[in-house]
Amino acid sequence: MNNRRYITMSENRISAGFPSPAESYAECRLDLNEYLIPNPASTFFVRVEGESMSDYGINTGDLLIVDKSLPVFNGSIVIAALNGEFTVKSFYSRNGRIELYPGNKSYSMIEVTAEDDFEVWGIVIHCIKSFSMCQK
């Protein structure tokens, strides 16, 4: 049995500048699972706590969609385990060194050393924000 719930999506784009008249009222069906989760078996969600990635638009309360199957490349925003603690940072590997960069100038870069227990758990593919007054 298919338990997917399709949500109606307008095919019009919304102006973020000056209002424009709607060109048409055509609609299509959108399955958020298909749109946001290309690899369901390797995808997980995590809620953000902290402001170290705020310049990337990732803030406390945001829900990140993370794919474990994607390859890590320089500039990837990753969920990583470092010495038993989870973090979200921008990943770089240079000259055999791994560096994790925050997206907030108030925080410092983290250099991963050979002594560290380090593992990339996945690549952040989407950030879901809630603009309601009552976030859960």
In the set 42, 89, 106, 129, the catalytic residue is 89
In the set 52, 54, 76, 90, the catalytic residue is 52
Domain ranges of the chain: 39-128
Q: What topology does CATH give the domain 39-128?
A: Umud Fragment, subunit A (2.10.109)
90 is catalytic: no
Q: What is the tens place of the pLDDT at every residue in 109-122? A: 999 999 999 999 99
Task: Give me 2's structure tokens.
Answer: 């298919």
Measured between alpha carbons, how far is residue 91 from residues 8, 35, 57, 80, 101 in Å?
A: 36, 25, 17, 9, 7
54 is catalytic: no
The model's pTM:
0.77
Q: What is the tens place of the pLDDT at every residue in 1-45? A: 456 665 555 555 555 666 655 555 556 777 888 889 999 999 999
